[in-house]
Homo-oligomer: A and B are copies of this chain.
Amino acid sequence: MALKGEPKSTLYVGIDGGGSKCRAIVYSTTHGVLGDGLSGPANPFQDFELAIKSITEASMQAAIKVGFNYSDLGDMTAGIALAGVNIPSVFNAMQHWKSPFKQHLVLTDLHAACLGAHSGGDGAVIIAGTGSCGYASVNGQSLTIGAHGFPHGDKGSGAWIGLQAVEHCLLAMDQLGQDSILRQKIAADNPLDLVSKVSGQPPRFYARLAPLVFEAAEEGDVIAQNILQEAGDYLSQVGEKLLSLNPPKLTLIGGITARILPYLTSKVRNKITDAEHPPEIGAILYAQNKINADTQNRKTNDHSASG
């Protein structure tokens, strides 16, 4: 296979992992993306062992797709973007992981999303997927809003929308709230069945209910429309706060992007541009910059030492 002749120094692995899934790409600075992989949850704050398993699995898939094997990962540098590494102890544990890569650099999923969306330049992102948050990086300053997790945070996210819907259904089934198209889509008549189904479920379970809320809203259900409007209002608030830093670009990314867009205020909606690259590329841009900066520092230090 021709690609096996690729100089090893030009190969990178880009990882984007969160509470639902982990994506990996193998990337060559001369040929671009060579292969990709997809595995399970990779939020090391929620489950460290599962996160490293998912990262390894997705990376292996991507490597195998282009004819590499496990030991070839040892020649590649990885940029690993993850939810949960905003907690300093989790970041340190992940940075000190004995990974299968030549070296790896860890950053938050938000930072990688922002770098990817704006090709490494300044900008801001609103993330609306299983979870929700905002992130901006402008003139060397960064701002994070939200990213607090479920059920206490992540307002406006797919999981939050799903939880609101379930709460509504249970009230309706107890005849303490209005019945609705939404209730018919989410649950049969017996609250016990719904309770058995939802109890103890993770955010990604609730996020999978969000499409039913969008459907109900499109069919005219006022309760579903209100839930989505509250989500849109919150995400707009996040957007306005990010715009106050004057980022050159604002991008909305995540699983509910297309369907939640109409619920944002026009002020925020009109500023939104498409992401240029996915977070996996953002993670690689970060790793490249970090290594270049370190090399530059070493050269400067060597120069100073010899000067």
Contacts and interface: CB of A to CB of B under 8 A. Distances in A.
Interface of A: 45-46, 86-87, 145-146, 148-149, 151-153, 155, 163, 166-167, 170-171, 174-176, 191-192, 195-196, 198-200, 234, 237-238, 241
Question: Which residue among A149, A174, A234 has the maximum number of chain B CB atoms within 10 Å of its CB?
Answer: A174
A192 to B, nearest CB: 6
B241 A195 contact: no
Contacts of A200: 46
B176 A148 contact: no
Given A175-B241, A176-B237, A241-B176, A199 B167 contact: no
13 contacts: A87-B196, A146-B170, A146-B174, A148-B191, A149-B199, A151-B151, A152-B163, A153-B170, A153-B195, A155-B167, A155-B171, A176-B234, A176-B241
A86 B193 CA distance: 11
B191 A166 contact: no
A86 B191 CA distance: 11
Closest 8 CB pairs of A and B: A151-B151, A152-B166, A145-B174, A148-B170, A148-B195, A153-B170, A176-B237, A152-B198
Nearest to A147: B195
Contacts of A87: 192, 195-196
A167 B153 contact: yes
